[in-house]
Amino acid sequence: MKPVLYIDIDGVFFAHYDGWLNLRPGANSILKQWAMDFDCRWLTCWPHDKITQWLCSTYAPDLVRKIPSAKWRDSKLEGVDLSSNFLWIEDGLRSDEAEQLKQAGLIQRF
């Protein structure tokens, strides 16, 4: 079984360059590689339909549609199965989430 990779979108795949929100260079290739190596999950505040709508215009649509969104409400950690073999790619971990990961001995997975 592949490890789970939780993926944020803002700041990870998109960033501001010269005041404009742009796709990061090489992002498409990186996502394709991650999808081969991991069981990917979106972990973002973006609604799943918006992820699909926007990312399908820049990435391989079949790949983007296969990646489900992790469900969470108040903390992204609600969407992470801490008992699984996981990694989390996030541009800005909240201090309370970082503390919870530290207490669980999982901060190295961020």
Confidence band of 30 (pLDDT split at 50, 70, 90): confident
**Per-residue pLDDT tens digits for 34-49:** 999 999 999 988 777 8
**Per-residue pLDDT tens digits for 48-94:** 787 777 777 766 677 777 889 899 999 999 999 999 999 999 988 89
Q: In this predicted structure, what is the pLDDT of residue 22?
A: 77
Residue 109 buriedness (CB in 10 A; 0-12 / 13-18 / 19+): middle
